[in-house]
């Protein structure tokens, strides 16, 4: 079965540079979530999109922005990178809004960003 695809899997950047992470949800999933997991930390919700509109926002720095495109893939743009941005960034997708027995978040394998 198709899964959530994230690219790149690994990314190394210098401080103050910019990085873009991409997420391709499961086909027919219209809702995308971004999570950030710092070293030894639990995943923290950043932002979500439903039908190409931002649906919720968590602890996402102002230096970060994200969007969902017409094909439902999403991109997380991070500028003026700081050492503390080094983390594993997860994307997850699901269908629709609200929770039901079938609507469970499926996570991608993550994109590991290292800021030097």
Which residues of the shown chain bind other proteins in the complex (CB under 8 A)? Answer: 31, 33, 41-45, 48, 56, 58, 90, 92, 94, 97-101, 103-110, 112
Nearer to other proteins, 18 or 109 (CB): 109
Assess contact for 13 and 29: CB atoms under 8 A.
no
In whole angstroms, the minimum distance from the beta carbon of 60 to other proteins comes to: 12
Nearer to other proteins, 85 or 111 (CB): 111
In whole angstroms, the minimum distance from the beta carbon of 16 to other proteins comes to: 27
DSSP 25: P
Cis peptide before 59 (omega within 30 of 0): no
Helix, strand and coil in the chain, % to nearest 5: 5, 50, 50
In whole angstroms, the minimum distance from the beta carbon of 42 to other proteins comes to: 4
Cross-strand bridge partners of residue 107: 92
Nearer to other proteins, 17 or 51 (CB): 51
What is the C-alpha to C-alpha distance for residues 89 and 61, in angstroms, rounded to an integer?
14
Could you give phi then psi for residue 50, rounded to 5 degrees? -130, 125
In whole angstroms, the minimum distance from the beta carbon of 93 to other proteins comes to: 11
Nearer to other proteins, 16 or 38 (CB): 38
């Amino acid at each position: 079965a198709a899964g959530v695809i994230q690219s790149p899997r690994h990314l190394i950047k210098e401080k103050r540079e910019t990085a873009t992470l991409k997420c391709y949800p499961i086909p027919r999933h219209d809702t995308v979530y971004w999570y950030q997991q710092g070293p030894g930390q639990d995943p923290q919700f950043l932002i979500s999109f439903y039908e190409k509109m931002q649906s919720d926002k968590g602890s996402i720095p102002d230096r970060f922005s994200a969007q969902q495109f017409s094909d439902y893939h999403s991109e997380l743009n991070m500028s003026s990178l700081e050492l503390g941005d080094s983390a594993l960034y997860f994307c997850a997708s699901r269908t629709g809004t609200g929770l039901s027995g079938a609507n469970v978040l499926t996570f991608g394998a993550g994109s590991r960003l290292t800021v030097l």
